[in-house]
Amino acid sequence: MTIHKEGRLLLLVSSIVLVLLNVAIAYFFPERTVLQMVVIIASAILYLLILQFFRNPKITVNHNEGQVLAPADGKVVVIEEAEEKEYFQERRMQVSIFMSPINVHVNRNPASGLVKYFKYHAGQYLVAWHPKSSTDNERTTMVLQLQNGLEILVRQIAGAMARRIKWYVGEGDTVRQGEEFGFIKFGSRVDLYLPLNAEVKVNIGDKTKAGKTIVAELPQS
């Protein structure tokens, strides 16, 4: 288990601020031992909460060109046919994974392939389960072209709390299944748009692990 690079500066600043706060409480209220203890405990809890937001566990990926792996830790909240209007402009099988604040926030490539398309969209910060969050919220869209020619779309979506999306890929990059492609601070949602004849292997409410859980089996061509 390591700390993700996106959280290192925040953790450093948080530790300095919390230490200074506790020193100030002890200095100005030397007789208020109960107050000092409350602030110490609250500071420790807050720091541990921030720390767990940015944990980055090491994983072992079982690479399989015929499978789509979960791009995020979280819970499956949508499995349905939907019109994908940005790139495919046709109906696709949508699988959405909601990332709560207690989940690992690293996003991983669901499959190996070529980044055929990538675009960042500024937008709103509706709650992640809002019907319009996929099209109106801040988001990124990445399309992977697989070795067999199939294309799948991965969309990072910001939410009410998650107001910063990070990505580490661009058009023309070749990516490997299970490797990190981005990060969403403090949770939110990742959507997959798969071929309609993909065999979905998860159900609504299932918990997923990025780079580990098999979301779908792909058709051969």
Residue positions annotated with a catalytic role: 188
DSSP string, 54-74: TEE--------TTEEE-SSSE
Token pair in block for residue 164 = 């910063």
With a CB cutoff of 8 Å and minimum separation 6, the contacts of 19 are: none
Identify whether the C-beta of residue 218 lies closer than 8 Å to the C-beta of residue 150: yes
Q: What is the DSSP letter of 124?
A: B
The encoded tokens of residue 9 equal 């500066």
The helix/strand/coil state of 7 is helix
User: Quick check: 68 and 152 in contact, CB under 8 A?
Assistant: yes
Determine the Cα–Cα distance for residues 69 and 166; give it in Å rounded to an integer: 20
Nearest C-alpha neighbor of 165 from the set 173, 176, 175, 154 = 154
Q: Where are the alpha helices (DSSP H) in 73-213?
A: 133-136
Alpha-carbon distance values, 136 to 114, 128, 139 (Å) = 26, 11, 8
For residue 46, the 8-state DSSP code is H
